[in-house]
């Protein structure tokens, strides 16, 4: 089947199960105006993150890779009024767009946007976080995972996006840094006795990819 079919199926389900959302639409429009890359999670994936956060009663969420705040909005909506989401963004312009999107969504009071390289920000954070969502440069995924694990508690979830790479993760001859970084991540998670994990392949509006889900024991 073609990506057109995957996208149409996504639209069918999101149309029935999610419905219109002017706030999220405005965030994507602002991202486009700001010339941010269109690499946000899909609406279906955003809703999944929100459901995961709500299902564990998350009160503190960590995000690595803010971009324009689209996934941040999905996650922050799962928080109680006194909850907190800390999101790390390396690009100051992206962070500025995200802050405006979060303010428009009425979520700026529960979201702290940290600007700078995440590997410099993460060591200074106080845990634990109930859920961590990692969607940044894939070369550093193993380090991000290790930091997230250290900031977690038993029962916390860690979600890492874009681990299938269109199937390229399977090819040992593929030496693209994002693919190599992903394989190193998978190997690190497999060796880590403190988590149980799985990976799910996905197709949809964002093409063929997938995510890794780990639960802290």
The strand pairing partners of 210, in sequence order, are 201
Residue 32: is it exposed, middle or buried by C-beta count within 10 angstroms (0-12/13-18/19+)?
exposed
What band does 198 get if pLDDT is binned at 50, 70 and 90?
Answer: very high
Quick one: average pLDDT of 171-177? 96
How is the chain split into domains, by residue range? 3-216
Interacting residues of 83 by C-beta distance below 8 A, sequence separation 6+ = 58, 59, 60, 61, 76, 110
Could you tell me the strand order of the sheet in which 157-161 lies? 111-115, 84-89, 60-64, 131-134, 157-161, 207-216, 195-204
Place of tokens 């593929």: 174
Q: What is the CATH number of domain 3-216?
A: 3.40.50.150
Q: Per the structure block, which two tokens stand in for 44?
A: 């279906």
Alpha helix positions (H), the chain? 3-17, 22-33, 43-55, 70-76, 92-104, 118-121, 141-150, 177-191
Output the pLDDT for position 1.
72
What pLDDT score was predicted for residue 185? 98
Q: pTM of the entire structure?
A: 0.97
Q: How confident is the model at residue 143 (pLDDT cuts 50, 70, 90)?
A: very high
Q: List Cβ neighbours of 115 (8 Å cut-off, separation of 6 or more).
A: 89, 90, 92, 95
Reference 75, options 27, 99, 110, 126; nearest CA is 110
Mean pLDDT score across all residues of the chain: 97
How far apart CA 75 and CA 111 sit, in angstroms, is 10
Note the pLDDT tens digit of each residue in 6-47.
999 999 999 999 989 999 999 999 999 999 999 999 999 999
- Closest by CA to 13, choosing from 47, 52, 56, is 47
Report the pLDDT value the prediction gives residue 187, as an integer from 0 to 100.
Answer: 98
Place 147 in a pLDDT band, splitting at 50, 70 and 90. very high
pLDDT value of position 106: 98
In the predicted structure, residue 215 carries a pLDDT above the cut 90: yes
Ramachandran angles phi, psi of 102, nearest 5°: -70, -35
C-alpha distance from residue 154 to each of 63, 87, 109, 151, 169 (Å): 18, 21, 27, 10, 29
Question: Mind listing the pLDDT tens digit for each residue in 113-130?
Answer: 999 999 999 999 999 999
């Amino acid at each position: 089947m073609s990506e057109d079919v995957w996208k149409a199926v996504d639209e069918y389900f999101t149309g029935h199960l999610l419905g219109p959302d002017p706030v999220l639409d405005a965030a994507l429009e602002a991202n486009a105006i700001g010339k941010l890359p269109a690499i946000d999670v899909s609406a279906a994936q955003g809703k999944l993150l929100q459901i995961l956060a709500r299902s564990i009663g998350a009160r503190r969420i960590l995000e690595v890779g803010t971009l324009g705040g689209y996934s941040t909005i999905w996650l922050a909506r799962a928080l109680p009024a006194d909850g907190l989401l800390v999101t790390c963004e390396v690009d100051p312009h992206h962070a500025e767009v995200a802050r405006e999107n979060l303010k428009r969504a009425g979520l700026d009071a529960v979201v702290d946007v940290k600007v700078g390289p995440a590997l410099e920000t993460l060591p200074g954070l106080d845990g634990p976080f109930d859920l961590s969502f990692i969607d940044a440069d894939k070369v550093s995924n193993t380090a991000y995972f290790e930091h997230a694990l250290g900031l977690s508690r038993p029962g916390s979830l860690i979600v890492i996006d874009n681990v299938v790479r269109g199937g390229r993760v399977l090819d040992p001859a593929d030496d693209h840094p994002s693919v190599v970084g992903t394989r190193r991540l998978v190997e690190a998670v497999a060796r880590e006795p403190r988590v149980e994990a799985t990976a799910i392949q996905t197709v949809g509006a964002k093409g063929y990819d997938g995510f890794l889900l780990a639960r802290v024991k």
